[in-house]
Structure formats: structure tokens, C-alpha cells
Amino acid sequence: GESVGLHLPTLSVQEGDNSIINCAYSNSASDYFIWYKQESGKGPQFIIDIRSNMDKRQGQRVTVLLNKTVKHLSLQIAATQPADSAVYFCAEIPNAGGTSYGKLTFGQGTILTVHP
């Protein structure tokens, strides 16, 4: 999603629904992408990652899709639970000359709210 002013994009779903969180990235040289979940009062928690030589990767209840043509990343959460409520960030690392030095850049984030 795209941020508008100081307000993070939001997604509200019912428990049991599938959720899709979108992210547009800007650096076509980015080689590695990560999705993080951040709950209130905690640090970002790693969910799943994907490298630029892949277009899909699945984890437990989560799937990440990468479309390099349009520089778009999405996170799909199956059977969303109230415990999934959090801010979700996509993040990217460029691979400049084969050495990225871990320069992780975060997107603006999306607030996911799951209603029981």
C-alpha cells in the first residue's frame, strides 16, 4: 500500500479470512526482500523472506509473492487470526556490486486488524 500523509494504510479483516498486504519497492537493484510483523511495544519480528531469483515462497500460513516487472511484493496470510493483528513492514536490501552490507530499507507499513 501507499502511505497518505502521516497515516499508515490499514487493512481490516474478519477472523478466518485470508489477508493480502501489498508493498511497492523502488530499487530495481534490490536482491533480497523480507516481511516483518511488529506488535505494539515490540521490535519487528521476521516472518518470511524471498530472493530476487524467486517469485513465490511459502511458509506456515504465509506466502510471499514477488513481481520484479512492476516492483511489487505481497504477503498473503491464510486463515487470519486476531493474534495476527499488528503493523506489517516489507523491507529490501540492494545488492550493489555483490556486497549490500545489510542496508535494509523498510516500507511505510500496513496496519492489519483482525476482528473476532
Partner 1 sequence: DTEVTQTPKHLVMGMTNKKSLKCEQHMGHRAMYWYKQKAKKPPELMFVYSYEKLSINESVPSRFSPECPNSSLLNLHLHALQPEDSALYLCASSQGTLQPQHFGDGTRLSIL
Binding site for partner 1 (CB under 8 A): 6, 8, 31-32, 34, 36, 41-46, 49, 89, 93, 95, 99-109
Q: How many CA atoms lie within 13 A of 77 on its CB side?
A: 26
Least Å distance, CB 11 to partner 1, is: 16
Least Å distance, CB 63 to partner 1, is: 17
Q: Say if CB 20 and CB 31 are below 8 A apart.
A: no
Least Å distance, CB 108 to partner 1, is: 6
Alpha carbon of 7 to those of 3, 58, 63, 76: distances in Å? 6, 30, 26, 22
Q: Considering the complex, state which of residue 2 and residue 116 has its C-beta at the smaller distance from partner 1.
A: 2
Q: Considering the complex, state which of residue 6 and residue 70 has its C-beta at the smaller distance from partner 1.
A: 6
Sheet harboring 62-67: ordered strands across? Answer: 19-24, 72-77, 62-67, 56-58
Q: Considering the complex, state which of residue 18 and residue 58 has its C-beta at the smaller distance from partner 1.
A: 58
